[in-house]
Structure 1
């Protein structure tokens, strides 16, 4: 176990990791194969899984600061490239666009359906994954995807129907800088261009979850300011925690990639905070060890310059 001198938080000593990509899964109805990246520790058994959904426009190579940290801390991280990725560059009139939010959920479920062959495709990984401990995680649009997998209800803007698309294989979630409730608080831009945000119901989420929000994340999607991204915590039920990152904007100091150009609040200390708290939570919620999480709750209870951690 090591203690970071900047955050004062503890964590396990990192282990070596391996990353394999792209592993292609056939998905005829999607129109594109689901390409998967697997990042895993080179040692250890009964490894829990993090199913990670990227933010709008990103891809399976994004979020290395988080993915590398989680894998080095004992987790198998699965990523894909969703249809909204800039790499795929779907035309504006592509008929799949109105259902992009739904395709994202189907991508995640397709990966879970093929977890055994994906595990076998990574040299040395076969037989080392615990298929009973799976956490869904995501940033921004990906946070909605993770939320849907644990019970967030989204009214389909095309059909007007609200469905339960949760997956019982998911045991918990981590939602980073994720959209809140829609309704009148949405800006005209969000209402017209992101219709899947118009009506979100968090009340059915009961699985354990960690929400991470920046107190300077003033997105042009809501009139409510940074508090909007705390809705996944305040409006959901069950055992939930909220990490508020002081000074954090939408990319929380730079979690989307090393030296990522879209980061407007570049701050390595913020990234370290998010890395350590999320890993501590993953280890806690999957039952590996509670020590680092309990320590984080104490250190971040109040007065820490980087953030505040609350639970309900």
Structure 2
């Protein structure tokens, strides 16, 4: 296992590119109850754009997470953000028959985006023919990170204790999991165990490369464990993963959802800038074997008088 210390200084990643964005782009979704709305952000110039499909946290929508989506798009990625059924913008009632399976609808939303990339391209002026379908990543925050992890190979343990269905997707080559919930079972609070049985992931099959991001002060009300619960996707999965531990970070990780958001209890622009920089470097290298940006970024962070966190890799 290797480790590097993270400095607050910004590493050069090139000047940001002007971004074009379109919302809502509507994708057909038979059996979902309503079509899927997504937001698409992409650099205004360039071809062969790698793709990031981003899953929002509980209650959010395609309109959140601009500090990440906007940054990634300005640095060469096409970013697609679906609005899941649990979004507050949709007001799905608790007794809706879809509610118990929203976790499954979420996974299907991400796959639906990949199934309809032709429609995504056609809906955004100037984007047609510019996406590289061979370089696809998924990312997500909180419940969205669990959603993204399913396409990387994680599974939901079934009621009988089995590993659950394999919902991984071979089109996905890498992932970024931000504040992803850890293992379920005895690690959940009684409330979570009763009301959220889908919060029982098995990471032993999550073989696709991923960067796991966790705050060392992220204390979940859903788990009886401490902040180390959010490192489970790294510690309990097969090799080929990296872990970014952020010092002093809580569940909002400094403000990745957006500026002045009341749910961000640890607002810290430097921490957000660090996440922007490292996730960009990681995804570039994960999707392009010839790109050495992740190695270079880690090497540049070995010395720091005021570290913001650390990187571990297996």
**What TM-score do you get using the length of structure 1 for normalisation?**
0.94
Matched with 1:143 is 145
Map 1:121-270 onto structure 2 (within 5 A).
Answer: 121-156=123-158, 162-197=164-199, 199-270=200-271
Q: In structure 1, what is the Cα distance between the partners aligned to 2:115 and 2:244?
A: 31
Is the CA contact 2:207–2:238 (under 8 Å) kept in the aligned structure 1? yes
- Aligned match of 1:114 in 113, 116, 125? 116
**What TM-score do you get using the length of structure 2 for normalisation?**
0.93
Q: In structure 2, what is the Cα distance between the partners aligned to 1:158 and 1:134?
A: 33
Matched with 1:281 is 282
Offset, 1:30: 0.6
Map 1:20-31 onto structure 2 (within 5 A).
Answer: 20-31=22-33
Is the CA contact 2:281–2:294 (under 8 Å) kept in the aligned structure 1? yes
Offset, 1:249: 0.4
Is the CA contact 1:283–1:289 (under 8 Å) kept in the aligned structure 2? no
Offset, 1:295: 2.7
Aligned length: 308
Matched, 1:88 2:111: no
SS at structure 2 position matched to 1:196: coil
Is the CA contact 1:214–1:249 (under 8 Å) kept in the aligned structure 2? yes
Q: In structure 1, what is the Cα distance between the partners aligned to 2:81 and 2:203?
A: 24
SS at structure 2 position matched to 1:279: helix
Cα deviation 1:71-109 (Å, max 9, x = unaligned): 001000001110111111111111111101000001111
Structure 1 residue runs of 4+, over 6 Å off?
158-161
Matched with 2:273 is 272
**What are structure 1's unaligned runs of at least 5 residues?**
none
Higher relative contact order (CA 8 A, sep 6+): 2
Offset, 1:258: 2.1
- Structure 1 residues 267-276 or 295-304, which shifts more? 295-304
- Structure 1 residues 239-248 or 279-288, which shifts more? 279-288
Q: In structure 2, what is the Cα distance between the partners aligned to 1:11 and 1:168?
A: 29
Matched with 1:292 is 293
Q: In structure 2, what is the Cα distance between the partners aligned to 1:185 and 1:146?
A: 21
- Aligned match of 2:13 in 11, 14, 18? 11
Is the CA contact 2:155–2:163 (under 8 Å) kept in the aligned structure 1? no
Q: In structure 2, what is the Cα distance between the partners aligned to 1:301 and 1:154?
A: 37
Q: In structure 2, what is the Cα distance between the partners aligned to 1:145 and 1:218?
A: 20
Offset, 1:294: 1.6
Matched with 1:36 is 38
SS at structure 2 position matched to 1:262: coil
Q: In structure 2, what is the Cα distance between the partners aligned to 1:135 and 1:150?
A: 9
Q: In structure 1, what is the Cα distance between the partners aligned to 2:160 and 2:261?
A: 34
Q: In structure 1, what is the Cα distance between the partners aligned to 2:25 and 2:89?
A: 16
Matched, 1:63 2:80: no
Cα deviation 1:215-247 (Å, max 9, x = unaligned): 000111111110000000111113110001110
Q: Summarize the Cα distance change of 1:163–1:48 in structure 2 as closer, same or farther, 3 Å threshold.
A: same
Is the CA contact 2:27–2:119 (under 8 Å) kept in the aligned structure 1? no
SS at structure 2 position matched to 1:148: helix
Is the CA contact 1:301–1:309 (under 8 Å) kept in the aligned structure 2? no
SS at structure 2 position matched to 1:19: strand
Q: Summarize the Cα distance change of 1:252–1:289 in structure 2 as closer, same or farther, 3 Å threshold.
A: farther
